[in-house]
Amino acid sequence: MVTDGSHTKLAKTFHWGFIFLYAYGLLKQLNDVSQLEDAGLLVLEVAFVSLFLLIVLMRYFYMRRFETFLGAREPVSLFHKRLAKAIHRSIYLCLALLPLSGLMIAGLFALEIRQGPLQDFSLALHEFCASLSYFLISIHIAAAIFSRFRREGIWTSMVPFWKEKL
């Protein structure tokens, strides 16, 4: 565990590198599930979501070793700690369900189940997780910016720019 009030380089790499992976996933998303008829695209999608899921899990198991408010200069209330943990865990759960539902869609499609209740459920879950991820990440960013303006030290422990003056 880190004791100097700052996250490790690996933690920062997980955090900032994942942003690029998430953005890539948004940019390359399919317009229609029927695009999965292309076997090459299906394999590429399965490979991407498998990598995405692996990194989410690696990041979760690595990051849970650290305090939620690492770098805070003032004691953080129990309520705020629990709220932050709940939001972080919700983000991880959502980001794990996103590729899992994508794998369900691809698997059903590969089995030639292109419509029906299973595919409808998989698509609905995938869309819900995508929308929820936007919301939760927005809350995370807003809280980080709010913390930065309050000069609590949390921003500087993770963000490599716009450092707080101590």
Per-residue pLDDT reduced to its tens digit, 149-158: 888 888 888 7
17: Cβ–Cβ under 8 A, 6 or more apart, which residues? none
Count of beta carbons in the 10 Å neighbourhood of residue 65: 10
**In the chain, pLDDT over 90 holds for what percent of residues?**
61
pLDDT at 3: 43
79-122 tens-digit pLDDT:
989 999 999 999 999 999 999 999 999 999 999 999 999 999 99
